[in-house]
Chains A and B, each alone.
Chain A
């Protein structure tokens, strides 16, 4: 049995305070021998698979409001989750203490799902490191950078938003950063580890003109260090200006129309429509249970032939990137829909076993307190051949959707809804008036069949999206080119 446990690419550059206590050389280093004993205990009641997931997270956040640095926050979480499966049933327990008795208690509690099976600790044998790629090697995580440098970013965004227009009356800026270190041992003999940096920058501006008030927001981030801001297109000031631009543009917003009409989705953020309209329905747990409207549709046409949809955990530094998922399988690029034909689902271990295929690296969990589920990473509709300007020109009367606050889907019937925060009326092929906040509502499969033009301007959203499922939130990203949907219901007030 190996005593060497694992090595994570980044750890050598991290100061002790940012290192997980369970990592090699840490105060409570967990080695394969100890993990083996825990796994044996977890399986003692007769479970057929167990894993132990250690997680250490250090996070910090900074907020500016009314031109002042208002609050600084910092938090540390440490714990482990033990999962035992028996058939399709899962037992799960966790604790926040690396003392042996606590960990052993969690292992036994999780194992009770299989009660009535065996009665003795099981020897799971040799544990071997899972090789993993490196999609976010960050030489200097932002957490080790002096606080003042991060506060300067907030001030720069505030200043830029205020300078954008005298009608900007209020600016809020925030910066959040974290490092998450995970270590996983499985009873089928695997060990995996990863260090996952994340940062997110956000600005909100309020514009006032006469009696009218509107707000706009900007932001981005991903698995980066502060080098993220080196690109002038997304430095702190650029996010500040973007928030101000939206707020000012919306001052002139008029009531949106109501009813069915063509909609052109702008590149990037519009991928959230894809995430809702098809993404969730292709998570294999829903299909394994036959509760998704995509159940049994593999090989069938589920979208316009223009549509190829991928979920790609390998996009370097993207918010949804995963070197290794939370079940110890390497992140990969999975094609879901190819030229309109459904070719695959996103799997976790449980669903992959059910379908008799290899896991796709989509088993993710919010924290050690939750069991893994099939989840999206970076989900994209790939680019097409149309010139984006021609797409707008082709619409006589419709809507151009540019920014979104979020979306929601009903997995069973595919009905989805998403909320626009910046959109424009298209009249005779031109963007005319900005529209007040409005929703688009539709049915996933129906809407994807109505995609009839696809731009050549594919763009990945800047990293702002968080996806919720079964009470678990995970960071994701989305991307699309400009897309024309022949008809979708727009939920305005002008009937």
Chain B
């Protein structure tokens, strides 16, 4: 399908709309205005059991406006970018701001801090845009077929889905910032299903998945390889059972270790700090994790999924250290949270259409260790190798952590049988400090990434003896 390419011209048009909206808002009485415009398109092609199930194709755009009037804020959004609609929106937003109360911290950033030039991060691949529904369906059919042919115990399928998003973002502020960029992202997932009759009185189905994703078409794993890995992972869960309640080592596969790293950010950012809604408040410069833990947030990695040339406040982005050899570094801040904490922004603002900016991560990466993953497992006497986590059980204020876990039982350095329906729990402070082995298998497959690592012990709740 033609016409979905995002060109430099598209970016320029969006920048023009953003600047126009800033001007209109100023004329409507705003002391300050910030406008974010997004234009995107999606293609999703899903097949199941070899037949097309869904082809979804569409484009959309939206504009978010945030104004400041007498120190008061209001935020609005619309998908109607016509001039008369923007006039009405701006007037309404200024009126709305009148109802807020003055917030001395909400002034815009000093114009001297705004980004004036932008790094070239290579975030857009025209080849992703060239994909049409027919090609995407073919990929999906090939991936699913590979999964079903790989192992006859794969008896059913939740399907295979090839999808891509293309988009352009433009941001302009009355402080003089204007910038825009484009991005592409393609992903493919295969989800096989098996019938598990290990317990004949209580047969179950077991599902699994594997995926690949990249901003660049050529960097995707082959559809067949994704299907085979999905089948291997799904079949491996046949016969899953609970284990007894006990204290044991917990090894986190990269598919879940990254969610642990994401949880660290949720309690180590300027917003959670000024709100005092984090157990880490007051611990910058202190040891909060094992010396094996080093985490950086790097928005400047070319082609990476979370890279961005400027942040949601219009500031230049930069690489920030989050945890250095176990020591908590100054937390990631946007302009507002930095002011609340009496410091400077780290260039980490994220912003959505119709929302206030706040600190967000770009590419949040836990550095690899030196051990091979197999060696790490061989080095573990007894424990759970976790491949997926369920649920929300984390209290940021106290650090209490309890989540459902699925994986494999480790006995004398070997993965023995699959485990499900158990929880793992400990205080997060203990979890981070008990990390005693980190593998070398780091891959930047998603914007938050981490290698396999081991926590020396946590409470596993399962069956009672």
B51 within 8 A of A: yes
Cβ contact of B204, chosen from A69, A258, A413, A418, cutoff 8 A:
A413
Stretch at the interface among B20-28, B69-77, B123-131: B69-77
Stretch at the interface among B111-119, B253-261, B391-399: B391-399
Q: How far is the CA of A286 from the CA of B434 in the complex (A)?
A: 41
Known A410-B207, A489-B462, A492-B402: A93·B79 in contact at CB below 8 Å = no
Q: Is the Cβ of A439 less than 8 Å from the Cβ of B403?
A: yes
Q: How far is the CA of A334 from the CA of B270 in the complex (A)?
A: 48
Q: Is the Cβ of B75 less than 8 Å from the Cβ of A71?
A: yes
Q: Which residues of A contact B52 (CB under 8 A)?
A: 89, 113
A230 within 8 A of B: no
Q: Is the Cβ of A74 less than 8 Å from the Cβ of B101?
A: no
Known A289-B158, A495-B247: A75·B459 in contact at CB below 8 Å = no
Q: Which residues of B contact A439 (CB under 8 A)?
A: 391, 393, 402-404, 423, 425
Interface bin, chain A: 35 or more
Q: Which residues of A contact B76 (CB under 8 A)?
A: 73-75
Residue of A nearest to B194 (CB): A412
Cβ contact of A258, chosen from B77, B80, B425, cutoff 8 A:
B425
Cβ contact of A417, chosen from B96, B404, B459, cutoff 8 A:
B404
Q: How far is the CA of A136 from the CA of B21 in the complex (A)?
A: 38
Q: Is the Cβ of A93 less than 8 Å from the Cβ of B51?
A: no
Which positions 273-290 of chain A face chain B at CB distance < 8 Å? 289-290
Q: Is the Cβ of B459 less than 8 Å from the Cβ of A170?
A: no
Stretch at the interface among A122-130, A263-271, A307-315, A400-408: A400-408
Interface bin, chain B: 35 or more
Q: Which residues of B contact A71 (CB under 8 A)?
A: 73-75, 100, 356
Q: Which residues of A contact B79 (CB under 8 A)?
A: 76-79, 96
Q: Which residues of A contact B464 (CB under 8 A)?
A: 259-261
Q: How far is the CA of A293 from the CA of B340 in the complex (A)?
A: 51
Query: Which secondary structure dominates where chain B touches chain A?
Result: strand
Q: How far is the CA of A273 from the CA of B52 in the complex (A)?
A: 34
Q: How far is the CA of A446 from the CA of B205 in the complex (A)?
A: 14
A443 within 8 A of B: yes
B221 within 8 A of A: no
How does the 8 Å CB contact mask read for B448-462 relative to A, with 1 for contact and 0 for none?
Answer: 000000000001111
Cβ contact of A70, chosen from B93, B101, B242, B397, cutoff 8 A:
B101
Q: Is the Cβ of B158 less than 8 Å from the Cβ of A291?
A: yes
Cβ contact of B100, chosen from A69, A74, A259, A292, cutoff 8 A:
A69
**B134: shortest Cβ distance to chain A, in Å?**
9
Q: Is the Cβ of A490 less than 8 Å from the Cβ of B60?
A: no
**A446: shortest Cβ distance to chain B, in Å?**
8
**A482: shortest Cβ distance to chain B, in Å?**
23
How does the 8 Å CB contact mask read for B233-255 relative to A, with 1 for contact and 0 for none?
Answer: 00000001010011100000000
Cβ contact of A89, chosen from B54, B73, B275, cutoff 8 A:
B54
B225 within 8 A of A: no
Q: Is the Cβ of A93 less than 8 Å from the Cβ of B58?
A: yes
Q: Which residues of B contact A69 (CB under 8 A)?
A: 99-101
Q: How far is the CA of A259 from the CA of B277 in the complex (A)?
A: 30
Residue of B nearest to A418 (CB): B391
A24 within 8 A of B: no
Q: Which residues of A contact B54 (CB under 8 A)?
A: 89-92, 371
Q: Which residues of A contact B390 (CB under 8 A)?
A: 408, 410, 415, 417, 441
**B455: shortest Cβ distance to chain A, in Å?**
13
**A440: shortest Cβ distance to chain B, in Å?**
8
Q: Is the Cβ of B61 less than 8 Å from the Cβ of A96?
A: yes
Q: Is the Cβ of A75 less than 8 Å from the Cβ of B78?
A: yes
B286 within 8 A of A: no
**A143: shortest Cβ distance to chain B, in Å?**
13
Q: Is the Cβ of B58 less than 8 Å from the Cβ of A495?
A: no
How does the 8 Å CB contact mask read for B377-409 relative to A, with 1 for contact and 0 for none?
Answer: 000000000000011111101101011101000
B120 within 8 A of A: no
Q: Which residues of A contact B193 (CB under 8 A)?
A: 291, 412
Q: Which residues of A contact B60 (CB under 8 A)?
A: 79, 94-96, 369
B369 within 8 A of A: no
Interface contacts beyond A413-B240, A415-B421, A443-B421: sample of 19 additional A-B pairs, CB < 8 Å, sorted by A: A69-B100, A73-B354, A73-B355, A76-B80, A91-B56, A92-B57, A93-B58, A147-B96, A170-B275, A291-B207, A293-B204, A414-B204, A437-B400, A439-B404, A489-B422, A489-B423, A491-B461, A492-B461, A495-B247
Across the A-B interface, the 7 shortest Cβ-Cβ residue pairs: A491-B423, A258-B461, A417-B404, A412-B205, A412-B207, A417-B391, A259-B245
- Residues of A with Cβ closer than 8 Å to B? 68-79, 87-96, 106, 109, 112-113, 147-148, 151, 170, 206, 213-215, 256, 258-261, 289-293, 295, 369, 371, 405-408, 410-415, 417-419, 436-439, 441-443, 446, 489-495
